[in-house]
């Protein structure tokens, strides 16, 4: 019998599995797909490697949050490449350019300098606001580990119950500056009506500390963790879809695989898939899980998805940039991206360069990412990968061309130098990773309903737990935090 049976071999499932296996537990990780990795998956086409959901991480320098966690996970020896210290992100808004620098003081100073050099006047109050903003982010990030031992840590929950947008209004005051500091936040959903300050501050804080790419793609993280689990005596099975949790006498006794093909018994059961999907796997009859909890979870909204264009470039023509580029139409459009923008020009884009593994000064691949909404895709919601029809392919091709055209305005070398490109939509993510509506960041946290939307790892069944991006925080740091929260709080 296994000590832990884990559903889903994405980042959280593998990290938790690795931590428990390292402690001497017998682990079994079950993945429905033919490949592990979830959002870390890379894919190969014509010999070239493309990333899917992984682009860069924050806070990996010595003593910083992700470093501390990755040290325990033995992930620090992967080929991490630090982005430029003085410009790890570039934010383009209309025709103004801003560069994000690492270090909180340098970050604030650079924003103010760039603001002036773009021809803007800054009030003393707003300049002080930027410095206060940077200090606040540092403080929030310094305290990230408070939730490891107490999921309901009061300062953390207070930040979950505060509006990110209102905080920026109160602190920075100047709408243009609010747009600038939010300009790299496509890695979360900027939605003024719901976004909690905790999510905004924690994620931005980690990248301002330091920002890193992984040479050779995000899949190496999943592979290393899975290999580690196996080396500690555990198992990682693919093509093993959990189709039922078998609950008897108030606890889960086993999981059923592939509609009854096999059952696997265990002492504890961890689900790293979406909470709604998890609860759907627990039969209602005689369950400890109340229907009201199921209904609440089923009714939670999910964040937007992503449209991605993976581009293979011709060799030796497009210079590699050791930073990301974010492109926005206007200062006000930045906080409007949680809703579908009918005017394509109003949609924000992110450009990510894949770090060359051969030391070349030229890029081989770039990815363009753009928020995409389920209502753009409902026409094809009943289709499966590779069988969605010509109209879908045409929609993707048109959208990709528009994205490439817009990015070419800022990276002119792209013109005539694209060898090939591939696209994916939230439907692709839904079908490969099982996230609801292909949501990029999972359940939408809402500062008005923080108690309802910030879920705890435990459930009403004492040996069934949840982990992953739908809980405390998303992103590589966020998901890793949820794995550690369960590790520390589970009292296993």
Partner 1 sequence: MTREELVAKTNEILADEFEVEIEDIQPDGDIKKTLELDSLSIVDMVALIEETFGVKILGTEVSKIKTFDALYDFILEKVNA
- The binding site for partner 1 (CB under 8 A) comprises 152, 157, 290-293, 296, 448-449, 451-452, 456, 458-460
Q: Which of 199, 477, 208 is nearest to 191 (CA)?
A: 199
As measured in angstroms, the least distance from the Cβ of 148 to partner 1 is: 18
Nearer to partner 1, 81 or 449 (CB): 449
Distance between CA atoms of residues 462 and 16, nearest Å: 18
As measured in angstroms, the least distance from the Cβ of 236 to partner 1 is: 30
Nearer to partner 1, 148 or 456 (CB): 456
Nearer to partner 1, 123 or 291 (CB): 291
As measured in angstroms, the least distance from the Cβ of 292 to partner 1 is: 5
As measured in angstroms, the least distance from the Cβ of 159 to partner 1 is: 13
As measured in angstroms, the least distance from the Cβ of 471 to partner 1 is: 13
| Residue 483, both tokens | 């794995």
As measured in angstroms, the least distance from the Cβ of 288 to partner 1 is: 9
As measured in angstroms, the least distance from the Cβ of 460 to partner 1 is: 6
Q: Do the beta carbons of residue 385 and residue 327 sit within 8 Å?
A: no
Nearer to partner 1, 325 or 454 (CB): 454
Nearer to partner 1, 157 or 178 (CB): 157
Nearer to partner 1, 24 or 286 (CB): 286
As measured in angstroms, the least distance from the Cβ of 440 to partner 1 is: 25
Nearer to partner 1, 25 or 470 (CB): 470
| Residue 267, both tokens | 């002492």
Nearer to partner 1, 252 or 313 (CB): 252
């Amino acid at each position: 019998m296994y000590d832990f049976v884990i559903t889903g071999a994405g980042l959280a499932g593998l990290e938790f599995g690795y931590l428990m296996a390292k402690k001497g537990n017998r682990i079994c990780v079950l993945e429905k797909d033919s490949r592990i990795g979830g959002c870390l998956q890379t894919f190969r086409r014509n010999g070239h490697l493309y990333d899917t959901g992984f682009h860069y991480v924050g806070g990996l320098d010595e003593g910083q949050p992700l470093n501390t966690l990755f040290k325990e996970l033995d992930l620090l020896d992967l080929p991490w490449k630090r982005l430029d210290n003085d410009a790890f992100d570039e934010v383009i808004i209309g025709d103004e350019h801003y560069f994000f620098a690492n270090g909180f003081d340098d970050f604030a100073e650079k924003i103010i300098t760039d603001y002036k050099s773009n021809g803007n006047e800054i009030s003393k109050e707003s300049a002080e606001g930027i410095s206060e903003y940077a200090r606040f982010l540092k403080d929030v990030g310094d305290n990230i580990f408070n939730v490891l031992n107490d999921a309901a840590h009061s300062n953390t929950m207070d930040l979950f119950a505060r509006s990110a947008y209102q905080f920026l209004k109160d602190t920075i005051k100047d709408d243009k500056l609010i747009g600038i500091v939010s300009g790299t936040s496509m890695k979360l959903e900027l939605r003024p009506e719901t976004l909690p300050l905790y999510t905004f501050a924690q994620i931005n804080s980690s990248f301002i500390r330091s920002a890193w790419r992984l040479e050779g793609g995000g899949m190496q993280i999943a592979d290393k963790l899975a290999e580690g689990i196996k080396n500690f005596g555990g198992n990682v099975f693919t093509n093993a879809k959990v189709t039922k949790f078998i609950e008897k006498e108030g606890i889960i006794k086993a999981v059923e695989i592939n509609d009854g093909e096999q059952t696997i018994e265990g002492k504890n059961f961890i689900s790293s898939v979406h909470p709604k999907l998890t609860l759907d796997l627990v039969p209602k009859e005689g369950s400890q899980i109340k229907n009201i909890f199921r209904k609440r979870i089923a009714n939670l909204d999910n964040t937007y998805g992503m449209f991605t264009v993976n581009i293979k470039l011709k060799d030796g023509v497009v210079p590699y940039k050791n930073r990301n580029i974010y492109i926005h139409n206007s200062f006000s459009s930045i906080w409007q991206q949680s809703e579908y923008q009918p005017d394509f020009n109003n949609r924000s884009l992110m450009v990510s360069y894949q770090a060359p593994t051969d030391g070349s000064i030229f890029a081989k691949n770039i990815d363009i990412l753009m928020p995409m909404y389920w209502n753009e895709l409902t026409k094809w919601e009943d289709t499966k990968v590779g069988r969605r029809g010509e109209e879908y392919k045409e929609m993707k091709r048109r959208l990709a061309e528009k994205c490439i055209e817009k990015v070419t305005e800022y990276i002119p070398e792209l013109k005539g130098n694209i060898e090939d490109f591939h696209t994916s939509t939230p439907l692709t993510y839904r079908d490969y990773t099982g996230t609801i509506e292909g949501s990029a960041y999972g359940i939408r946290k809402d500062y008005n309903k923080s108690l309802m939307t910030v879920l705890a790892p435990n459930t009403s069944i004492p040996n069934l737990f949840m982990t992953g991006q739908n809980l405390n925080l998303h992103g590589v740091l966020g998901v890793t935090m949820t794995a550690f929260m369960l590790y520390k709080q589970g009292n296993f």
